[in-house]
Structure 1
Amino acid sequence: MSTHAVDRLVLTPDDIDLKRSPLAGHLNAETYVLGAFNPGLTRLDNGNLLMMVRVAEALRKPIFDDHVHSIRWDAGRYVLDPWPLELVDTADPRVFKLRGGGWKIIALTSLSWLLPVELSPDGLEVIAMHYSKAVAPASSLQCYGIEDPRISKVEGRFLMTTCSVSPERHSTTLYSSKNGLDWVFEDIVLDHQNKDMLIFEGLIGGEYWAQTRPLGDLYFAYPPGSEWRAGPSINLASSKDTLYWKPYRKPGIRPHSGTVATARMGGGTPPILTPEGWLTLWHGVEPKELVGIYRTYWSILDKDDPGRVVRTEHTPLLEANPDLTRRIEDQVYIRDVVFTTGIADGGDHYIVASGEGDLACRITHIPKSVFAVKADAQALSEQGVG
């Protein structure tokens, strides 16, 4: 059960009108919304909030004629690709894995596009769904879709990072907007498998800063007895123009060896400046079965040197809440996943947006006092995380 006074789903797959989808009319097959989730969040100039929602649109019957099918954008249209069943592993509902070869190759069971959804100032009521302003694949580097938007507002300009998926590369792409609704594609900004890019909501030393999370299948071990665990971590980079990014030589937030709850981690919300430093919410993944358990944690970074963790908390801020999805239980396909992706100031609280179970959009109001120094709490290590 949630301990937060306001914690609810504000958008579910049933709220999406696929007649207005960018894929509508392209495929001779029925589709459905596998998930409407992982929303970027920002406050518009009119005071309303804007969620940029990842809509994962999937085939109702992906397997027919002894093949499993995936959706692909191809030169302005959407097509189906058939894969012989004997060549694939379909254990994960989100992807299927192609057998053989010397490395992991997957294809998706859905194609994702981004839908701007305008909310009331408190984030609890849908005001408008801007289908005409949806962000969809527009080049071959996005042929398998656009995923997991994160929105920052810096110097009056809205910036949105996304993951663009294709056989060419799994890259981070940048969009910009003057009003938070009309988005312009800028370029690829990070190359292969660098995910969860979060641009700080403010400059540091006159430059843009971002959290990044490069992925790989090889990591070098920390020495025996180290407080850190080798694996994916949250790195840092800076830029003069938002297009060209230099990695920071200091490490960012790393998995702690004392727990498996954050054995894998990645960025969640764009860091926002507080009197104490940059507040950042991030996800830790505990290994379990196929997907793992995703929880949300938080850290405060030094305002002048974000490579220094000022304070953090080892207790999860948010966990998956099955009570929230009980009314749409028939649509649940993974469990134990909350993936926090947006934050906005709500006065005495923060409005936090998350994807719940890769299925729906969750809004939680979290009092700012949660992040305050507790007088009776033991001081945490300046670098302790997880």
Structure 2
Amino acid sequence: MTFAVDRLVFTPADVDLARSPLRGHIEAETYVLGAFNPGMTRLPSGNLLLMVRVAEALRKPMSGGHIHTIRWEEGEAGNPGRYLLDAWPLEHVDTSDPRKFLMRGGGWKVMALTSLSWLLPVELTPDGLDVVAVHYDRAIVPQASYQCYGVEDARISRVGDRWLMTTCSVSPERHSTTLYSSTDAVEWTLEGIVLDHQNKDMLIFEGQVDGRYWAQTRPLGDLYFAYPPGAEWRAGPSINLATSPDALHWKPHDRPGIRPHAATVSTARMGGGAPPIRTPRGWLTLWHGVEPSGVVGVYRTYWSLLDLDDPATTVATEHAALLEPAAALTETLRDLMYLDNVVFTTGIVDAGDHFIVASGEADLACRITHVPKSAFGL
């Protein structure tokens, strides 16, 4: 589909690395690999907040026969910690994916990242089209050992009088989902780990069902059991559900959520996008589906409506994509691109007769799209 308002609003060129949390810690030159996958919410002022993932990478990661990575190290009591560099011999790694490298040998996959991510609050006008302020003093940075390789991909939900932000925290300890909370979406408190190893794309519903919090989750693994021949569904990563009395302690829901459909090639891999938002027809959820192609595949955004009282029941959906990767939007950034064919939706707010949708484009920049409610039959 095409939309009248569909543009990039924040790119790597808009990040001032002189104000990066890494400054003063490492001497090596860094650059912004991407400023993308923004969590989004509406502030009490009416302005919008993007919580932008800034992936800061070494300009020359390879030198002296080694590839280098950035790591945060926890400090002593009262010390905020420091950033430092690690070196890995090139003959021991596979560098075919620009975002990461894999260690050769061993009985399972072990990887490291070519960047360290932190979250940058960017305030926008109420329509989401212009930057009002960039709040470097409120950046979300590693605070615990389970975040030593960075904080990634915020999703923000407002539930009652609280804002809840899930993020992916990366470390050798675990690849976990962490929760931040706020009473104003300005000052955030780290609540700790809420989902353990390799459970990504956790999206808390913007409202409760029967007094309980609900969330979409996406556990990962290397093994899935087959559906029977001719089944409607395809085995593989799917969007699951969980419930909680307090948003801290989560129980997986017994029934599955959104599963990859056998007739849709773009759900060969799938996961949550924007936090489910309440509408008269059901919980509107935007999610990503991936068509196999090249190194990472083609990422598109799809939508479904879930029953208001039973979110495990899908009441409406479309096999056609809502958002496609838009090469024209990133044409002026062509010299910065290391991936294409990726749109990764991460936020949604109600704007009257339309929704404002925030996405990461090409793992590079922040995209804002105004989607009329009629696109969902609303």
- What interval of TM-score do these two structures reach, taking the shorter chain for normalisation? over 0.9
Cα displacement string for residues 302-351 of structure 1 (whole angstroms, at most 9, x for unaligned residues): 00000000000010000100000001110011010000000001111000
Contact 2:142–2:151 (Cα < 8 Å) also in 1: yes
Corresponding position: 1:366 with 2:371 = yes
Match of 1:234 in 2: 239
- Aligned CA RMSD, in angstroms, stands at 0.7
Q: Secondary structure of the residue that 1:323 maps to in structure 2? A: helix
Match of 1:69 in 2: 68
Counterpart Cα distance in 2 of 1:278 and 1:140: 36
Match of 1:316 in 2: 321
Gaps of 5+ in 1: 374-386
Match of 2:134 in 1: 129
User: Could you tell me how far 1:182 is from its partner in structure 2?
Assistant: 1.0
Q: Which runs of 4+ in 1 moved over 3 A?
A: none
Amino acid at match of 2:163: F
Counterpart Cα distance in 2 of 1:286 and 1:114: 28
User: Could you tell me how far 1:116 is from its partner in structure 2?
Assistant: 0.4
Match of 2:259 in 1: 254
User: Could you tell me how far 1:259 is from its partner in structure 2?
Assistant: 2.1
Matches within 5 A, 1:1-386: 3-75=2-74, 76-372=81-377
User: Could you tell me how far 1:156 is from its partner in structure 2?
Assistant: 1.2
Q: Give the structure-1-normalised TM-score.
A: 0.96
Counterpart Cα distance in 2 of 1:215 and 1:193: 6
Counterpart Cα distance in 1 of 2:3 and 2:35: 23
Counterpart Cα distance in 1 of 2:278 and 2:255: 20
Q: Percent identity?
A: 72
User: Could you tell me how far 1:41 is from its partner in structure 2?
Assistant: 0.4
Cα displacement string for residues 145-178 of structure 1 (whole angstroms, at most 9, x for unaligned residues): 0000000000110000000000000000000011
Q: Secondary structure of the residue that 2:232 maps to in structure 1? A: coil
Q: How many residues align?
A: 372
Q: Secondary structure of the residue that 1:261 maps to in structure 2? A: helix
Gaps of 5+ in 2: 75-80
Counterpart Cα distance in 2 of 1:355 and 1:154: 24
Q: Secondary structure of the residue that 1:330 maps to in structure 2? A: helix
Counterpart Cα distance in 2 of 1:304 and 1:289: 40
User: Could you tell me how far 1:277 is from its partner in structure 2?
Assistant: 0.5
